[in-house]
Chains A and B, each alone.
Chain A
Amino acid sequence: MEVQHGGLIIDVPEGWSDQSTLLFVAPRDSQTAATVAKVAVPTEAVAVRFRGTDGLDAVAVLAEELSGVRAADPDAVELEAGPFSCPLGAGAFRVVRLRVSQAPLVQLTAAVVLGPVCILATASAAEARFPRVRDELLRVLQSMRFS
């Protein structure tokens, strides 16, 4: 089975599962002051992965994912939730605030269910930066389409 990612093609044996994650990371903000750069401020990132729905719709998949996030950070808080759509189809999104290695992060996760498979795309940003980059991150997630 031929799999293509960017300019790379790899032949994977028939029947293997796809547990890959596409991870895209924004460059460090060039305007960051030198003193601030010494502090570990996470930059924006978008991760896309696939999972089976196990019969769940997009909202339920997101709820299940949130319980996974809360296993890592019991204080994770849902800030926003609603419908999501992109060329792949309609789904749902959820915005969650959490801490990763003490750094406060906000994650915007969109889920689109295509039959038995769910596409989960998560955009992350430092909490302080999220309001400024929210729309850009949302546009990245909304750009998901078929090749």
Chain B
Amino acid sequence: MGKVKAGSDQIRLIAAGKALREVSDRSTVAKITVDGKLIDDPEAALRALQDAEAPVSSGDSTFDRLTARFEHGVDKLEGKLQGSTTGRTAMSFIRADPERLQRPAAVEISFTDGSTRKLDVAVTDARLTRTLQRISIVAEGLGLTPLLGIVFLGATALVAGVASLVSLATGDRELARTLGRVSAKHALLGAVAEVPVIGELVPALAISVDVANLKAMRTAPTVASIVNLRALAQGARA
């Protein structure tokens, strides 16, 4: 189990909120810790979880406009790639959502009757995940450039690989793992960049999937936010 990194108080709060949601009677909770650190305000943890589960605005309409044409292309492109082994391999790689950065956290809840409960919780680092998705979209867009695509993707694969090693050296294993996956994805896209037909379809599919993933993070409400609609409304009025 990895450690939640310094500066990730919000992720710690969200992890605590996720664990608290598993408790039916929260009045019995005496203490809650995440990776050994005490969470002072359980209500703040639940609010942080609620905020994290709500869709967020991209705040960048220009980026949205530029990428909108890729949003609905996934099915069509996948249909074209199904017939080739390279295409299917690339598809499974792209579909794995390599940019998603998940932070594991160990939560311990102590109850008023003296019992304790330990839960392993994974929290998506939404901010970094969105940033990585955007970087990938730009890199994959450049990858569509004839002849130079392989150079651009090779460069981004190299940069992501180096960043992965730096993250590993600084102790951020989850970020290192995620950057490693991004590096491998860009390397794969670069490797097929000059292959006729597939070289155009694969980067286009990668962009379409990334745009769809990015949009889903912004516009698709989570099940939890709809189940807790009343709390959402109270939060909106506060």
Please tell me if the beta carbons of B221 and A115 are within 8 angstroms of each other in the complex: no
Residue of B whose beta carbon sits closest to that of A87: B233
- The interface of chain B, by Cβ under 8 A from chain A, is 18, 21, 53-59, 124, 216, 218-227, 229-230, 232-233, 235-236
Please tell me if the beta carbons of A54 and B55 are within 8 angstroms of each other in the complex: yes
Please tell me if the beta carbons of B227 and A3 are within 8 angstroms of each other in the complex: yes
A117 to B59 CA separation, bound complex (whole angstroms):
16
Query: Which residues of chain B come closer than 8 Å to A18, judged between CB atoms?
Result: 220-223, 225-226
Please tell me if the beta carbons of A54 and B222 are within 8 angstroms of each other in the complex: no
| Contact A50 to B124, CB < 8 A, known contacts A55-B57, A55-B59 | no
Instruction: Kindly state whether residue A17 has any CB partner on chain B within 8 Å.
Output: yes
Interface residues of A in 102-147 (CB under 8 A from B): 113-117, 119, 146-147
Interface residues of A in 65-82 (CB under 8 A from B): none
Please tell me if the beta carbons of A17 and B218 are within 8 angstroms of each other in the complex: no
Q: How large is the interface on A (under 10, 10 to 19, 20 to 34, 35 or more residues)?
A: 20 to 34
Interface residues of A in 46-96 (CB under 8 A from B): 50-55, 88-89
Please tell me if the beta carbons of B229 and A146 are within 8 angstroms of each other in the complex: yes
Please tell me if the beta carbons of A17 and B223 are within 8 angstroms of each other in the complex: yes
Query: Which residues of chain B come closer than 8 Å to A55, judged between CB atoms?
Result: 57, 59
| Contact A114 to B232, CB < 8 A, known contacts A1-B227, A18-B226, A52-B220 | yes
| Contact A1 to B220, CB < 8 A, known contacts A53-B55, A114-B232, A115-B232 | no
Please tell me if the beta carbons of A117 and B221 are within 8 angstroms of each other in the complex: yes
Query: Which residues of chain A come closer than 8 Å to B55, judged between CB atoms?
Result: 51-54, 116-117
What does the 1/0 interface line of A2-45 toward B look like (CB < 8 Å)?
A: 11000000001011111100000000000000000000000000
A113 to B229 CA separation, bound complex (whole angstroms):
11
| Contact A51 to B229, CB < 8 A, known contacts A14-B18, A115-B236, A116-B55 | no
Please tell me if the beta carbons of B226 and A54 are within 8 angstroms of each other in the complex: no
Residue of B whose beta carbon sits closest to that of A16: B223
- The interface of chain A, by Cβ under 8 A from chain B, is 1-3, 12, 14-19, 50-55, 88-89, 113-117, 119, 146-147
Query: Which residues of chain A come closer than 8 Å to B235, judged between CB atoms?
Result: 115
Residue of A whose beta carbon sits closest to that of B53: A15
Please tell me if the beta carbons of A14 and B54 are within 8 angstroms of each other in the complex: no
Query: Which residues of chain B come closer than 8 Å to A14, judged between CB atoms?
Result: 18, 224
A29 to B224 CA separation, bound complex (whole angstroms):
38
A-B residue pairs, 10 tightest by C-beta: A52-B55, A55-B57, A115-B236, A17-B220, A116-B54, A52-B219, A146-B230, A18-B226, A114-B233, A18-B223
Most buried by B among A53, A54, A113: A54
Query: Which residues of chain B come closer than 8 Å to A114, judged between CB atoms?
Result: 229, 232-233, 236
A18 to B216 CA separation, bound complex (whole angstroms):
11
24 contacts across the A-B interface (CB closer than 8 A): A1-B21, A1-B224, A3-B223, A3-B226, A12-B223, A17-B223, A51-B219, A52-B54, A52-B221, A53-B55, A53-B57, A55-B57, A55-B59, A88-B233, A89-B233, A113-B236, A114-B229, A114-B236, A115-B54, A116-B221, A116-B225, A117-B229, A119-B229, A147-B230
Residue of B whose beta carbon sits closest to that of A89: B233
Query: Which residues of chain A come closer than 8 Å to B226, judged between CB atoms?
Result: 3, 18, 50, 117
Least distance between B93 CB and chain A CB atoms (Å): 22
Most buried by B among A3, A18, A88, A147: A18
Least distance between A10 CB and chain B CB atoms (Å): 10
Residue of B whose beta carbon sits closest to that of A146: B230
Query: Which residues of chain A come closer than 8 Å to B227, judged between CB atoms?
Result: 1-3
Residue of A whose beta carbon sits closest to that of B56: A116
